[in-house]
Amino acid sequence: MASRLPLSKLHISKKLKWARNPYGDKWMVVLFSDDKKWNLDGPDGNIKFWHDLRKEPRSFFSRQSGGVSVMVWAAFGFNGQVGLAFLGGRQNSPKYIETLENNLMPFAENIGGRNSEYQHDNVPIHTSNATKII
């Protein structure tokens, strides 16, 4: 099995051009963030595993009433990081905006204000129209 997907010459040249692009001091105002949910009572969703067919299969309990989990959010930039924010309940655009206003915006104001560039993934609550306004 190949350890990576083959890249075309076009992809290679574009990746090299991006890597060699002198972004310079602009990295000082770029902010990155991510969130992570941990289930405290076992794995989420489908469970796939290999087992020895000669032995009795192990059984797993199924989660009742949604289980227990904790979700955290954090951000960092060239000049430091935002402390962990513990998020409560199911996340949606308004809750994400509140997280940004309470945690990211004060940090961003200290490193570049409105000139900051914010990078996050394409989760729907991150790309909603309401989120894009702030």
Q: Give the strand order in the sheet containing 69-77.
A: 80-87, 69-77, 30-39, 117-119
> For every one of its 134 residues, what pLDDT tens digit does the chain have, with 9 covering 90 and above?
567 778 899 999 988 887 787 677 777 888 899 999 888 766 666 566 677 888 887 665 555 656 678 899 999 988 889 989 999 888 899 999 999 999 998 888 877 677 788 888 888 888 898 888 76
The three-state secondary structure class of 122 is: coil
Q: How many angstroms separate the CA atoms of 95 and 77, rounded?
A: 22
Domain ranges of the chain: 29-42+64-133
Q: Are 117 and 30 in contact (CB under 8 A)?
A: yes
The verdict on domain 29-42+64-133 having CATH code 3.30.420.10 is yes
Per-residue pLDDT, 95: 94
The three-state secondary structure class of 105 is: helix
Q: How many angstroms separate the CA atoms of 110 and 116, rounded?
A: 10
pLDDT in tens, 8-22: 999 999 888 877 876
Phi, psi of 127 (to 5 degrees): -110, 10
Q: Give residue for tokens 């075309």.
A: 8
DSSP lists the bridge partners of residue 81 as: 76
